[in-house]
Amino acid sequence: MNFARPDAFLVFIPLAAVIIALYLLRMRRREMQVPATFLWPTHTEEVRANTFFQKLKPSWLLFLQLLALAVIVGCIARPQLVQRGLTGEITVLVLDSSASMGATDVAPSRFEEAKRLARAAIESARPGDRIAMVEAGPVPRVVFSLSSDPVRQLADLQSLQVTDAETDVGEAMRLASAIVSGTEGARIVLLSDGVFERIDDFSQGKASVVFQSIGKSGENLAIEAFGASESQRGKLLFASVRNFGDKAVTTNLTVFADGKVIDSAQITVSPQKSQSRTINVPAGSTLFEAKIDAKDGLAADNYAALSADPAASLQVLKVGGEDPFLDRALALDPRVTLDRADSLPLDGGSSYDIVVFDGVPAEPTTSRGVLILGKAGTGSPVTASGTAKRPRFTGATTNPLMQGVDLDGVYIEEIEVVQPKGSAEVLARSAAGPLIVADKKPSQRSVYLAFSPLESDFPLQIGFPIFVSNMLDFLGGRAGEGPLVVPVGRPFSLPATTPTASLKVPDGDDVRLKSNGGAVTIREAKRVGTYSFRAGNAERKLIAVLQSPRESALAPEREIALAKKPVKSTDAPLRFADFWQPLVLLGLLVLSAEWWLYARRS
Amino acid sequence: MDLLLPPRTFRMLEGLRVSPRKSQPGRVRGERLTRRAGLSIEFADYRDYAEGDDLRHLDWNVLARLDSPVMRTYRDEEDLAVHVLIDDSPSMAFGEPTKLMVARNLAAALGYIALCSGDALLPVRLGRREAPLSALRGRSSFGRFAAWLGREVADDAPTSLSTSLRSFANSRNRAGVAIVLSDGLDPEAANAIRALVGRGHEVWLVQILSDLDLRPDLEGDLRLIDGEGGRPTDITANSIALRKYQENLRQHNESLADAAKRGGGRYAVYETSRPLEAFIRDTLKREGWIH
């Protein structure tokens, strides 16, 4: 035991001296005449005093009062016990709910083990300890804020469920740090298997970080790739199965076309190796699925799906600077798989459906579509002749690309003054020149925006994501009404003509969704499986799949890096726990005893 | 001081007699039978005739039948010395009414009984230096006795109860019933009573105690001043001290009762709040002190 404020003991001596001085006073007794005194006991109790002075006599009252004073001073000195426990006085528990936490190498699962640890931490917290919880899910969120209400905390913890998605643990840690980084002695406890992207941007402030690694084994088999390609022999399916474990595993790989088995083969995959298979696809199929029947650590990555519609999946390459608004708007489209690069690849982007030049001059590409933002180049449908400051919007055409997009009133700092080339069509115009230009060549479609979105307040307008969606339809082609394959856990939006829509999730529950600006944002597709989206009379099948080598590599990490600073896994760190509550109880007992003795003697 | 008992009490006392446990030798002929042969009408026994016997007591019937002279003997009748010892020490001035006043009223009642039954009444005031009163006899002496009771005796140096009792025991008093009316609040009182018993007296101790003696209502830190002139005592009147006092009082009273009863005497506690008639009826008559 140690004391947080040992200097408090200095007040004991003067206070004890005052108490002893009171016992040096003696009693002036009231005189009373009685028939005889010999029957009265000669024993007296000095419990009161009203005059000076007498010799100090041993007294239980004096002893109890000094003891009570010692206990009170002891409380003020804040005695502390050193003990082990996940929680401190102020703790933020960060619970990883990513797909890898669904692994069953720890019974019943890593996530349930994390919940058990969190539950034990909450239940073992001392009265007055404040705990918050952040779920590191697809979208990090505060499950409960700093409080000392274990009943509500346990109820909120119980409601948490693991997802089959990739998660952003870094963002969750930054959220936790924002809650307690300014508090001395606070603690951020990460309950995770360590299977997440390296966290470079993180500052823990005054808080300490505790990482408890969960998981034992990395044995897992996953469908790491499932795609289609056109060949001279027709359409081919490509399926690749990877063994992330240390032992060779044999499994059956079965491929379905519209629910019918078109191929099934037993494959043996060596440790840390992949085994692939190519299959001819029957004509007219709309949906392909692949399954492996391995009894491995994670079931979510044993299934993959692929839509036959080329527009149902868009591979987008963004070249240039950072634009979170554009990234978010692109990510909202369920068809988009976004890659980023500083410059155009040597193959000219032929493996991508759409290339976006964000703030860099457009180069010629072989992709189906090109989006140029702010800087015309050789690959753009315009010719630049200068710049203009704060142009005034003058009007737009009724082209479907501009449906739902209103640039009137949008503030634009600067535009390129351009002239459309060839068949390019001006869709929106300002007083200084074209704002949006589109070109629809048979080999390639392109859209040019005369300004960078970050140099305007266009990304803050409701028309921006609609413009991006229209642009994707224009450049990539509008997807059919067939099943839509989406990455599990990633929020996306779907058009909805009715104010409300519903989503039937794999376990059968219906989730009601509200439409906003003609679209519904879906965040509920957190588990792998088939969903049914209904808006009015329109119904669409959604298939959420996990294809994440990062999540499939289940081997738990015993050390993680936070802003390049290593943090080792620890079972339960030491903490100083205040010990004043039992002392207060003892003080009350001593004072009660003192009062009882006083009342009995007086 | 109103010493006169109410007429109803006098009527109650009529015909009662002091009832000693043992016979005491008398000095003059009285109305109380003794073991000795005498001249009363109470038949005692037969004995052979001896020369010089009074022929009036010869049983002529026996002489006629048996031709043997046999004398009838009778029990003698003497008076009984009833010493009424009233404790007039300072401790008797406590209580409401005071213990002394209660003692005087009880003494008046007992004295009236003794005078009416032909006994010799010998009143003594304990704790005060006073010339003893000669023996009173007959109902007509009650007036003198009442006057003696009502007299206030000033004494600058009152003696303690035990000293007075020892002094009485050592004097050449005629043995008889010594009725001690006192609160007994003297640590040596029991020994003094034993001394009295040792002188042949049948001691009747009526311990007169007030509420202050039996249930003292004291509280706090006090310096007790002894009414008898003893040393002051500092006490803390808490529950412990009160319990201890009660225990001491019980033991002291038991020692007094033991001392009185050891010589065939009697002992009773008389609370000052109790009516005199009730004490005479329920204690003295019921327990056979008087009949």
Residue A304 lies in a domain: no
Residue of chain A minimizing CA distance to B251: A39
Q: Do A42 and B231 touch (CB under 8 A)?
A: no
**Cα gap B154→B164, rounded to integer Å:** 16
- Nearest of A168, A161, A35 to residue B98 by alpha carbon: A35
Residues A199 and A117 in one domain: yes
Contact in structure between A562 and A200 (CB atoms under 8 Å): no
Q: Which amino acid is at A326?
A: L
* Whether B27 contacts B79, CB under 8 Å: yes
Q: Is B251 on the interface with A (CB under 8 A)?
A: no
Distance from CA of B192 to the nearest CA of A (A): 17
The verdict on residue B197 lying in a domain is yes
The Cα A461–Cα A410 span in angstroms is: 8
Within 8 A of B232 by CB-CB distance, chain A residues are 31, 37
Residue where a domain terminates, one of A458, A476, A494? A476
Same domain, yes or no: B86 and B180: yes
- Please count the residues of chain B: 291
Residue B222: its chain A contacts at CB < 8 A? 29-32
The shortest CB-CB distance from B234 to any of A29, A33, A48 is to A29
B153-210 pLDDT, tens digit per residue, is 776 677 888 999 998 888 877 888 999 999 999 999 999 999 999 888 899 999 999 9
Instruction: Render A233-276 in DSSP notation, one character per residue.
Output: TEEEEEEEEEE-SSS-EEEEEEEEETTEEEEEEEEEE-TT-EEE
The domain that holds A187 is classified in CATH as 3.40.50.410
Maximum CA extent, chain A: 134
What b/e readout covers B155-169, taking b as 16+ CB neighbours within 10 angstroms? Answer: eeebbbbbbbbbebb
pLDDT averaged per 10 residues, chain A (length 602): 78 87 75 88 63 70 87 83 71 92 90 91 82 91 91 93 89 91 85 89 86 90 86 82 91 90 91 90 83 88 84 83 86 82 82 88 89 89 90 88 86 91 90 91 90 90 86 78 82 81 89 81 88 86 87 90 85 64 85 82 65
| Distance between CA atoms of residues B44 and B187, nearest Å | 46
Q: Is residue A486 within 8 Å of A334, Cβ to Cβ? A: yes
Q: Examine residue A435 and state whether it is found in any structural domain, yes or no.
A: yes
* Nearest by CB: A45 against B183, B216, B236: B236
Looking at residue A540, its pLDDT comes to 84
Min Cα separation B94/chain A (Å): 7
Do residues A229 and A293 both lie within one domain? Answer: yes
* A319 and A402 assigned to the same domain: yes
For residues B137 and B36, state if they share a domain: no
Judge if B160 and B224 occupy the same domain: yes
Amino acid A388 reads A
Contact A42 B223 (CB under 8 A): no
Looking at the structure, do residues B165 and B145 belong to the same domain, yes or no? Answer: yes
Same domain, A72 and A12: yes
CB-nearest to A37 from B226, B236, B249 is B226
Residue of chain A nearest B246, judged by CA positions: A39
ipTM above 0.95, yes or no: no
pTM over 0.90: no
Q: Are residues A390 and A472 in the same domain?
A: yes
* Residues 23-42 (A) with a CB less than 8 A from some CB of B: 27, 29-42
* Residue B251 and residue B211 share a domain: yes
What number of residues does chain A have? 602
Domain count, chain B: 2
Question: B268 and B236, same structural domain?
Answer: yes
Q: Confirm whether A183 is domain-assigned.
A: yes
Task: Kindly report the CATH number assigned to the domain that includes residue A351.
Answer: 3.40.50.880
User: What is the band of B1 on the pLDDT scale with cuts at 50, 70, 90?
Assistant: very low
Q: Is residue B256 part of a domain?
A: yes
**Rounded CA separation A303/A314 (Å):** 20
B60 in the same domain as B161: no
* Chain A touched by B187 (CB under 8 Å): yes
C-alpha–C-alpha distance, residues A333 and A165, integer Å: 17
Chain B residues within an 8 Å CB radius of A31: 222-225, 232
Tell me, what CATH number does B197's domain have? 3.40.50.410
Domain that holds residue A501: 484-545
Same domain, A382 and A449: yes
- Residue B226 pLDDT more than 50? yes
CA distance B139 to chain A (A): 35
Whether chain B has a CB inside 8 Å of the CB on A47: the answer is yes
B103 shares its domain with B220: yes
Q: Do B130 and B210 sit in the same domain of this protein?
A: yes
Please indicate, yes or no, whether residues A388 and A430 belong to a single structural domain of this protein. yes
Note whether A35 contacts B185, CB cutoff 8 Å.
yes
Same domain, B119 and B65: no
A305 inside domain: no
Q: Does some domain include residue B250?
A: yes
Q: Is B234 on the interface with A (CB under 8 A)?
A: yes
- Asked whether the beta carbons of A160 and A143 are under 8 A apart, the reply is yes
- CB-based contact, A43 to chain B, within 8 Å: yes
Range of the domain at B131: 7-23+81-285
Spatial contact of A218 and A257, defined as CB atoms under 8 Å apart: no
CA distance B90 to chain A (A): 7
What total number of domains does chain A contain?
5
Give yes or no: residues A328 and A460 share one domain. Answer: yes
